[in-house]
A and B are shown apart, each in its own frame.
Chain A
Amino acid sequence: MVDIPYEGIRGIPPAEVPEVELYHPRSWWTRYVFSQDAKVIAIQYSLTATAIGLVALVLSWLMRLQLGFPGTFSFIDANQYLQFITMHGMIMVIYLLTALFLGGFGNYLIPLMVGARDMVFPYVNMLSYWVYLLAVLVLASTFFVPGGPTGAGWTLYPPQAILSGTPGQDWGIILMMASLILFIIGFTMGGLNYVVTVLQARTRGMTLMRLPLTVWGIFTATVMALLAFPALFVASVMLLLDRLLGTSFFMPALVEMGTLSKYGGGSPLLFQHLFWFFGHPEVYIVALPAFGIVSDLISTHARKNIFGYRMMVWAIVAIGALSFIVWAHHMYVSGMFPQFGYFFATTTLIIAIPTAIKVYNWVLTLWRGDIHLTVPMLFALGFIITFVNGGLTGLFLGNVVVDVPLSDTMFVVAHFHMVMGVAPIMVVLGAIYHWYPKVTGRMLNEALGKFHFWVTFLGAYLIFFPMHYLGLLGVPRRYFELGDATFIPSSAHSLNAFISVVALTVGFSQMVFLFNLAWSLFKGEASGGNPWRATTLEWQTPETPPGHGNWGKELPVVYRWAYDYSVPGAAEDFIPQNQPPRATQLAQGAAS
C-alpha cells in the first residue's frame, strides 16, 4: 500500500501540531502560588475544597446535636439550625464535590491521562482557581456578617429566601448569590480548559475510545456543567435583583410581617425551574466523575479489563444527556401543572437503564477477577453498594404518586445523601488512596486506610439507613425540633439520638484520614512510579511526582486502550497504554 499514513514501523499517526511551549516559572511565587501548572492548581483546588468541606462537616455535627438531643444545646437556636442546613448543603454540593471532582481530579488527571503537557490555556486555568478561592472566601464571610449566612435552604427558593423572617436576609443571601456568580465564572474558565484539552490536546494514538473512563466521566460532567450552570447564573442574577433593586421576577404580591410587600406579579415557580434545570444535572456533574473513577479503580484492582467499555462510555453520555430533561421531578409538589409530572417521571425512570448498565458492568468486571482488597478497592465496593441503595430509593421518589407523600421527609434526605453524598465521597476517598502515590511519591498507610474505610462505610449505613424509616413515618426534614407530634413514636426520637452519636463518631474518625494524609507525606512508604501496576498514562511518567510538563523530552505515544489487564500470553498482568506492540506484529503490519 502506498498511502500508509503512519510513521513507518511504529504504527502510529504523525503528530498533527507542533508542541506549544509551556510557561516556565521563574520564582517560588509562580511555581507554587500563582502557578500555571495544572498539577499545582489541582492541589490548590483540592485543599481549598477540603478546607471548606470540613466547615460543612462541622455544621452537620451541630445539626445532628440538635436533632438527636433537642433542647439540650442552648447555643443552637432555630435560625442557626436553618443556616447550618443551608450552608451544609450548598458547600457540600457545589464548593466541595463539584470543585473537588472537576477542579481537583480534573486538573490533575486530564492532562496526564490524555498525554498532554498541561491544560491548553494554563493562565486561564490559574485564574479559574483564584476566582474559585474568592467565591469560597465570600461564602465563608457570610458567617461573620450581621445576620449571618442565609437560612433559606440550599435550594434558596423565593419568596422566603429574600423576605424578612428568613435568617441571613440582609447580607447572607446577597453574598450567597455573589459567591455563586463568582463560582460559575471561575468554573467556566476551568471547564473550558478541561473540555478543549480532552477534545484537542490528546497525544498521538490517544483516540476518544482509548480514554480511561475517568476522563470520560470528568469530560462529560464538565460539558454538562458548562450548559447547566448558566441556569443557576441567571437565577442568581435575578434573585439578586429582586433582593437589591426590588424587581419582582420571582416575587408574587404577598404580605410580609403584616404589611403588603413592595413585590408583585413574579413567579416563584420560574425560580424552581431555573434552579432545577441546573440542579438536576448537578447531581450527575458529581456522579459522572465518580462513575468514571470507580470504573478505573475496579478494573485496576481486580486486574481485569472493564466489562463493556463502549457501553460504559455511551451510558455516561446518555446519562449526561437525559439528565437535562428530568429536572421537574424535584417539583412534583411545587404547584406546577400536574400532568408535567407524567413526562418527568417517565424520563426519570429511563435514566435507570444506562445507570443499571453501569452497575452490572462494574459487577461483571469484578466477576472472576483477581480482586485485591486494597483500600481503593474497598472504597470502590462501598461505592457500588451505597450507590445501588440510593439509586433504588430514587425509583420510589421518581414516581409521582409515591413521591408526594414522601416529599420533604427524611426519606428524601436519606436518598440523596446515599446516592450523591456518601457514594461520591466513597469514590473521592478511594481515588485519594489510589492517586496519592502519584501526587506525593509515597503510599498512604494501609492499616489506617482500612480502619478509615470500615468506620466510614458501616457508619454511613448506620446514619442514613434508619433515616429511610424515619421518612416513612413522616418525620419532616429541615425541622428544628419535632415537638410532641402524635404520629411520631418515641422510638423515632431514640433513633435520632442513635444517628447523631454515630454521625459524630464517623465525623471524628475522618481525622484519622487527615492524619494519614499528613503523616504519609513525610513517613509513608516510597511508592515508586506505578505501585498499583496500572496501565493508564499517568502511571508511566518519567518522574514521580510528575515534573513540569509531565513527560520529560518526548510525549508518550499510545498504542492500546486503557484496560489491558491479565492479557493471555503477556509477560505481566498489565500492559501500559504506551507500550509498543511486539516488533514482529508490527513488521507484519508494515509489510502487508
Chain B
Amino acid sequence: MAETVLTNPGQSPARLEGWRGIAADWASDQRAFKNVSWGKAMMWIFLLSDTFIFSCFLLSYMTARMSTTVPWPNPSEVFALNIGGNHIPLILIAIMTFVLISSSGTMAMAVNFGYRRDRVRTAILMLVTAAFGATFVGMQAFEWTKLIMEGVRPWGNPWGAPQFGASFFMITGFHGTHVTIGVIFLIAIARKVFRGDFDVERRGFFTSRKGYYEIVEITGLYWHFVDLVWVFIFAFFYLW
C-alpha cells in the first residue's frame, strides 16, 4: 500500500509486542489503550490521582515525625493489646491487615466469576469482600475508641508529639473513609449482579447506561488500591 500521508500507515493488523506495541497503540487513532474500556481507564486515572493524595498525606506525616523535637510515641507499645495476660505488640493491626488482604483475595475471585457470568457466586464473593471490609472498619473503630479512652486526641496525647494523634486520626480516617465507600460500592454492585442486571443489560438509575460485568473488575481495581494503600500506611505508620 502506498504511503500517502492521508491514511494511517503506523497501524498494522498484527498487534506488536513490547515497547513497539505501546508506541503503535499511542500512534493509532481512536484509543491509546486498546481493549481498555472507558470505565476502566477512568478508574485507573482516578487511582493515579488518589495515589498523589495519599502520598501527600504520608509525606506530610513523615515530615512532621522527622522534624518534631519531642519524642514520637512508640507504635509497638501504643498499638499493643493484652490478650489472655500476654502483652502482644501490634496484634490488632496485624489482624486488620490480614483481614484486608484476605478481602483482596475474595475480590479477585469475584472478578473471575463475574467474567464467567456466574452471578450467584460473584454476588456472594463480593458480599464476603464487603464483610471483610466492614470488619476492618469495625476494628479501626475499636482502635480509635481504645486510643481515645487512653487520652489520645488530635491535638495531643500522653506520650509525646501531638502530631502523633493528628496524623493517626487523619490518615487512618481518610483511609477508613475509602474502605467505607468501597463497602457501599461493593454492596450496591453485588445487588445488581445478584438481580441479574448485567445479564439483561438493565439501564442504570442515574446514568441510563447499560451495565456490564466489567463493573465488577472496576470495583475490584478500587478495592485492591485501597488495600495497597493500607500496606503503605502499615509500613510507614506502624512499623517505622
Task: Mark A residues whose CB is within 8 Å of B.
Answer: 1, 3-6, 11-13, 15-17, 20-21, 23, 120-123, 188, 192-193, 195-196, 199-210, 226-227, 229-231, 233-235, 237-238, 241, 245-249, 262, 264-267, 270, 274, 277, 558-560, 580-581, 585-586, 588-590, 592
Segment at the A interface, from B34-42, B78-86, B139-147, B185-193:
B34-42
Contact A202–B30 (Cβ < 8 Å): yes
Contact A5–B13 (Cβ < 8 Å): yes
A56 and B226 CA atoms in complex are apart in Å by: 40
Contact A274–B56 (Cβ < 8 Å): yes
Q: List 24 A-B contacts (CB under 8 A).
A: A3-B13, A4-B1, A17-B31, A121-B42, A192-B42, A192-B45, A199-B32, A200-B31, A200-B38, A202-B29, A202-B31, A209-B27, A210-B29, A226-B45, A233-B56, A234-B60, A241-B166, A248-B162, A248-B163, A249-B64, A265-B68, A558-B29, A581-B6, A589-B6
Contacts of A580 in B (CB 8 A): 6
Contacts of A21 in B (CB 8 A): 209-210
Contact B207–A123 (Cβ < 8 Å): yes
Contact B27–A208 (Cβ < 8 Å): yes
B57 contacts chain A at the CB level, 8 A cutoff:
yes
Which one, A208, A248, A586, A588, contacts B166 given CB within 8 A? A248
Contacts of B115 in A (CB 8 A): none
A343 and B41 CA atoms in complex are apart in Å by: 35
Contact B63–A267 (Cβ < 8 Å): yes
Contact A233–B41 (Cβ < 8 Å): no
Contacts of A230 in B (CB 8 A): 49-50, 52-53, 55-56
Contacts of A203 in B (CB 8 A): 29-30
A265 and B164 CA atoms in complex are apart in Å by: 11
A204 and B155 CA atoms in complex are apart in Å by: 58
Q: Tally inter-chain residue pairs, CB-CB below 8 A.
A: 182
- Which has the most chain A C-beta neighbours within 10 Å: B37, B55, B155? B155
A199 and B38 CA atoms in complex are apart in Å by: 9
Contacts of B155 in A (CB 8 A): 245-248, 262
- Interface positions, chain B 78-124, Cβ under 8 Å from A, are none
Contact B31–A270 (Cβ < 8 Å): no
A248-B163, A249-B60, A274-B60 known; A199-B29 Cβ under 8 A: no
Shortest 4 CB-CB contacts between residues of A and residues of B: A247-B166, A230-B52, A234-B56, A581-B6
Contact B42–A231 (Cβ < 8 Å): no
Contacts of A589 in B (CB 8 A): 1-2, 4, 6-7
A2 and B46 CA atoms in complex are apart in Å by: 42
- Interface positions, chain B 141-180, Cβ under 8 Å from A, are 154-155, 161-163, 165-166, 170, 174
Residue of A whose beta carbon sits closest to that of B27: A207
B206 contacts chain A at the CB level, 8 A cutoff:
yes
Residue of B whose beta carbon sits closest to that of A123: B207
A4-B1, A207-B28 known; A586-B6 Cβ under 8 A: yes
Contacts of B70 in A (CB 8 A): 265
B33 contacts chain A at the CB level, 8 A cutoff:
yes
Contact A12–B8 (Cβ < 8 Å): yes
Contact A267–B27 (Cβ < 8 Å): no
B200 contacts chain A at the CB level, 8 A cutoff:
no
Contact A592–B2 (Cβ < 8 Å): yes
Residue of B whose beta carbon sits closest to that of A590: B1
Which one, B6, B49, B55, B56, contacts A188 given CB within 8 A? B49
- Interface positions, chain B 46-77, Cβ under 8 Å from A, are 46, 48-50, 52-53, 55-57, 60, 63-64, 67-70
A245 and B173 CA atoms in complex are apart in Å by: 14
Contact A12–B7 (Cβ < 8 Å): yes
A226-B48, A246-B154, A247-B166 known; A200-B6 Cβ under 8 A: no
Contact A226–B5 (Cβ < 8 Å): no
Which one, B26, B39, B69, contacts A265 given CB within 8 A? B69
Contact B162–A241 (Cβ < 8 Å): no
A123 and B162 CA atoms in complex are apart in Å by: 43
Contacts of B208 in A (CB 8 A): 23
Residue of A whose beta carbon sits closest to that of B204: A123
Contacts of A5 in B (CB 8 A): 11-13
Contact B45–A121 (Cβ < 8 Å): no
Contact A200–B4 (Cβ < 8 Å): no
- When each residue 204-225 of chain B gets 1 if its CB lies under 8 Å from chain A and 0 otherwise, what string results? 0011111000000000000000
Which one, B29, B32, B48, B63, contacts A205 given CB within 8 A? B29
- Which has the most chain B C-beta neighbours within 10 Å: A15, A196, A592? A196
A3 and B9 CA atoms in complex are apart in Å by: 12
Contact A238–B49 (Cβ < 8 Å): no
Please give the distance in Å from B4's CB to the nearest CB on chain A.
5
Contact A121–B30 (Cβ < 8 Å): no
Contacts of A17 in B (CB 8 A): 30-31
Please give the distance in Å from B132's CB to the nearest CB on chain A.
27
Contacts of A11 in B (CB 8 A): 4, 6-7
Contacts of B26 in A (CB 8 A): 208
Please give the distance in Å from A68's CB to the nearest CB on chain B.
41
Contacts of A590 in B (CB 8 A): 1
Residue of B whose beta carbon sits closest to that of A580: B6
Residue of A whose beta carbon sits closest to that of B63: A270
A205 and B27 CA atoms in complex are apart in Å by: 11
A270 and B5 CA atoms in complex are apart in Å by: 52
Contact B42–A13 (Cβ < 8 Å): no
A121 and B37 CA atoms in complex are apart in Å by: 12
Residue of B whose beta carbon sits closest to that of A222: B45
A15 and B30 CA atoms in complex are apart in Å by: 8
A1-B1, A265-B161 known; A206-B30 Cβ under 8 A: yes
Contact B5–A560 (Cβ < 8 Å): yes
Contact A16–B31 (Cβ < 8 Å): yes
Contact B29–A265 (Cβ < 8 Å): no
A248-B162, A270-B64 known; A13-B45 Cβ under 8 A: no
- Which has the most chain A C-beta neighbours within 10 Å: B7, B45, B210? B7
Contacts of B55 in A (CB 8 A): 230
Please give the distance in Å from A28's CB to the nearest CB on chain B.
18
Which one, A231, A233, A235, A585, contacts B4 given CB within 8 A? A585
Contact B63–A20 (Cβ < 8 Å): no
A15-B30, A200-B38 known; A195-B11 Cβ under 8 A: no
Contacts of B45 in A (CB 8 A): 192, 195-196, 226
Contact B52–A231 (Cβ < 8 Å): yes
Which one, B13, B29, B57, contacts A234 given CB within 8 A? B57
Please give the distance in Å from B181's CB to the nearest CB on chain A.
13
Residue of B whose beta carbon sits closest to that of A270: B63
Contact A20–B209 (Cβ < 8 Å): yes
Please give the distance in Å from A261's CB to the nearest CB on chain B.
11
A568 and B37 CA atoms in complex are apart in Å by: 41
Contact A120–B42 (Cβ < 8 Å): yes
Contacts of B56 in A (CB 8 A): 230-231, 233-235, 274, 277
Contact A206–B29 (Cβ < 8 Å): yes
11 additional A-B pairs beyond A13-B11, A589-B2, beta carbons within 8 Å, are: A21-B210, A121-B38, A192-B42, A207-B29, A208-B26, A227-B49, A241-B170, A265-B162, A267-B63, A270-B63, A274-B56
